[in-house]
C-alpha cells in the first residue's frame, strides 16, 4: 500500500499515534541520544516512525522530542520522506512529553494547527523499532472495547525487593507478573482526562500510562500478549542487536525475475531450486516493461532482494522499470534494496559479448541508483 494512503482501522475507529522521543540516552552512553543513533546508517527513531506510517489506518504520528532536537527530527522527516509526522516539543519527563503530544489534538494554543482528534491513540516508544501491524491492531481493538490496552511479555528475571540494610526483603512470584511493553492504546478522551487530572508527582516520576488510566479514570486496561521483538533499545549492545535483526530480516526473501525465453526461464527455475533450502524465493517470468501484478504484490510484501536474469547486451532500460517501481513503493526509504543483474551470455563465442561501453553504462547506472538506496551489482555468466 502506498505511503500516506488510508485504510480501514480495526473496528472502524480513527487512530493516531504519539511517540515520545525526548530521552537523553544516559544508559546508552555517549553524547547522541539513542533515538538518534544510526542503525544501518539510519536513525533509530526513523524505523519506529516508519513502522507506524506503514499502517495505512494510522492518520497522524506525533513525535515528541526535546527542544534542542526539534530541527534534527525535522531533518530526519525530510530525508526519509516521513509524511504523517508532526514534531512536538517535549517536557522534562516522559509523562510530560506524552501529555504535550496529546495536546496537539485538543488544545488550539499548543500547536500551529489543531489535528483531528482520534477516537483511539497509540503510545509507542521511539526506540522500539520492530513493532508489527498485527500487535498494533490487537492493542487498538482491545482499547476500543476496554478503554485502554497494552502489550505485555513474560518476566525474564525474578523481581526482588531489598531492605534498608541492603539485604533481601522479599521476592515476587514471577509467574504472576508480566513486563509492561509497548505499544499501548487508549480511547483518547480517557488518557487525555487522566493526564489532565494527574498530580505533579505523577508527571515528574511516573512512567506507566496504563496506571494513569486506572488511577484517574478507573479504566482497567486489557493486557495483550506481545511478541519477542517488542524490546526496547536501552544499552549500546542493543544497537548491535537491532542491526543484526535488520540484516537478518533483509536476507529472508529474494525475488528471481527472468523474461519468457526458454533458456532464461530454465535458469530462473534452477536458481530458486538451489536457493529455496536457505531462503524464501519468489520466481517470476515476466517482462519488466509490463506492469505485472504479481511483481507488484511481491514488492508490496517488502522484498528487498532481487535477481534479474537477462540475455541482452545492456538491459538498463528494463531494469529502470523495476527501479521506478521500487521507488514508488517507498521501500528503499526504510532499508537498502539489493538488485543483482545477471547477464547470461548464450552466444557461441568464446568471449563475452558485453563491451566496455556497456560496462561503463552499468557502473554509471549503479552509482545513480545507490543515491536512492538501491544497490546494484552485476554478474556475467557465459552459458554454453
Domain for residue 3, yes or no? no
Kindly report, residue by residue over 127-186, the tens digit of the pLDDT.
999 899 999 999 999 999 999 999 999 998 999 999 999 999 999 999 899 999 999 999
**Bridge-partner residues for 34, per DSSP?**
none
Question: Cα separation of 310 and 346, whole Å?
Answer: 10
Q: Which residue has the higher pLDDT, 249 or 191?
A: 191
Domain for residue 377, yes or no? yes
Q: What is the pTM of this model?
A: 0.75
Q: Are residues 321 and 209 in the same domain?
A: no
Q: Are residues 59 and 179 in the same domain?
A: yes
Q: Number of structural domains, the chain? A: 2
Q: Are residues 211 and 297 in the same domain?
A: no
Mean pLDDT is highest, among 6-10, 169-173, 377-381, for 169-173
Strands (E), the chain: 15-20, 38-39, 42-43, 58-65, 85-89, 120-123, 148-154, 160-162, 168-171, 178-187, 222-225, 253-258, 280-285, 305-310, 337-345, 374-382
Residue 277, domain CATH:
3.40.50.360
Q: Are residues 53 and 152 in the same domain?
A: yes
Domain for residue 274, yes or no? yes
Question: Cα separation of 83 and 184, whole Å?
Answer: 23
Statement: residue 329 has pLDDT above 70: yes
* Cell output for 153: 511479555
Question: Cα separation of 119 and 185, whole Å?
Answer: 10
Let me know if 90 is exposed, middle or buried by CB neighbors in 10 A (0-12, 13-18, 19+). Answer: buried
Q: Are residues 33 and 154 in the same domain?
A: yes
Q: Are residues 178 and 95 in the same domain?
A: yes
CA proximity to 123, closest of 207, 56, 57, 200: 207
Q: Which residue has the higher pLDDT, 156 or 348?
A: 156
Kindly report, residue by residue over 280-292, the tens digit of the pLDDT.
888 787 766 666 7
**Domain region containing 332:** 252-382
Domain for residue 1, yes or no? no
Q: Which residue has the cell 533458456?
A: 263
Q: Is the Cβ–Cβ distance between 149 and 185 less than 8 Å?
A: yes
Q: Are residues 173 and 275 in the same domain?
A: no
Question: Cα separation of 25 and 287, whole Å?
Answer: 50
Q: Is the Cβ–Cβ distance between 234 and 28 less than 8 Å?
A: yes
Domain for residue 247, yes or no? no
Q: Are residues 199 and 265 in the same domain?
A: no
Q: Are residues 46 and 165 in the same domain?
A: yes
Residue 27, domain CATH:
3.90.550.10
Domain for residue 147, yes or no? yes
Domain for residue 84, yes or no? yes
Kindly report, residue by residue over 294-318, the tens digit of the pLDDT.
788 788 767 889 988 877 665 777 7
Mean pLDDT, all residues of the chain = 86
Provide, rounded to the nearest whole percent, the portion of the chain with pLDDT above 90.
48
CA proximity to 229, closest of 357, 159, 332, 128: 128
Q: Are residues 188 and 320 in the same domain?
A: no
Lowest mean pLDDT among 17-21, 26-30, 252-256, 376-380: 26-30
Q: Are residues 336 and 205 in the same domain?
A: no
Lowest mean pLDDT among 79-88, 171-180, 332-341: 332-341
Give the pLDDT of residue 353. Answer: 56
pLDDT level of residue 110 (50, 70, 90 thresholds):
low
Amino acid at each position: 500500500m502506498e505511503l500516506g494512503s488510508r485504510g480501514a482501522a480495526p473496528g472502524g475507529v480513527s487512530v493516531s499515534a504519539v511517540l515520545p522521543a525526548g530521552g537523553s540516552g544516559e544508559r546508552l552512553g555517549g553524547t547522541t541520544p539513542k533515538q538518534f543513533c544510526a542503525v544501518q546508517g539510519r536513525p533509530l527513531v526513523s524505523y519506529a516512525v516508519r513502522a507506524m506510517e506503514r499502517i495505512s489506518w494510522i492518520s497522524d504520528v506525533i513525535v515528541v522530542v526535546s527542544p534542542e532536537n526539534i530541527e534534527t527530527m525535522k531533518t530526519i522527516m525530510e530525508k526519509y520522506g516521513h509524511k504523517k509526522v508532526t514534531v512536538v516539543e517535549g517536557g522534562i519527563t516522559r509523562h510530560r512529553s506524552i501529555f504535550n503530544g496529546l495536546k496537539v489534538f485538543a488544545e488550539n494554543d499548543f500547536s500551529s494547527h489543531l489535528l483531528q482528534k482520534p477516537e483511539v491513540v497509540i503510545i509507542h516508544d521511539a526506540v522500539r523499532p520492530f513493532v508489527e501491524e498485527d500487535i498494533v491492531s490487537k492493542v487498538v481493538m482491545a482499547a476500543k472495547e476496554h478503554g485502554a490496552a497494552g502489550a505485555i511479555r513474560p518476566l525474564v528475571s525474578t523481581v526482588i525487593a531489598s531492605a534498608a540494610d541492603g539485604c533481601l526483603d522479599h521476592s515476587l512470584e514471577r509467574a504472576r507478573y508480566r513486563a509492561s511493553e509497548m505499544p499501548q492504546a487508549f480511547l483518547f478522551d480517557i488518557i487525555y482526562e487522566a493526564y489532565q487530572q494527574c498530580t505533579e508527582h505523577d508527571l515528574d516520576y511516573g512512567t506507566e500510562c496504563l496506571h494513569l488510566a486506572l488511577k484517574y479514570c478507573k479504566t482497567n486496561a486489557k493486557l495483550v500478549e506481545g511478541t519477542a521483538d517488542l524490546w526496547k533499545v536501552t544499552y549500546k549492545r542493543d544497537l548491535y542487536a537491532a542491526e543484526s535483526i535488520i540484516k537478518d530480516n533483509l536476507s529472508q526473501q529474494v525475488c528471481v525475475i527472468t523474461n519468457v525465453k526458454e533458456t532464461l526461464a530454465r535458469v530462473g527455475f534452477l536458481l530458486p531450486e538451489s536457493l529455496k533450502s536457505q531462503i524464501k524465493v519468489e520466481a517470476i517470468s515476466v517482462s519488466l516493461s509490463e506492469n505485472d501484478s504479481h511483481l507488484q504484490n511481491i514488492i508490496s510484501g517488502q522484498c528487498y532482494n532481487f535477481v534479474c536474469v537477462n540475455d541482452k547486451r545492456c538491459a538498463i532500460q528494463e531494469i529502470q522499470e523495476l527501479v521506478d517501481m521500487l521507488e514508488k513503493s517507498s521501500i528503499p526509504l526504510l532499508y537498502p534494496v539489493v538488485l543483482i543483474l545477471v547477464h547470461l551470455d548464450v552466444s557461441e563465442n568464446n568471449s563475452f559479448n558485453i563491451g566496455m561501453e556497456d560496462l561503463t553504462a552499468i557502473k554509471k547506472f549503479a552509482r545513480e541508483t545507490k543515491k536512492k538506496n538501491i544497490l546494484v551489482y552485476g554478474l556475467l555468466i557465459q552459458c554454453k
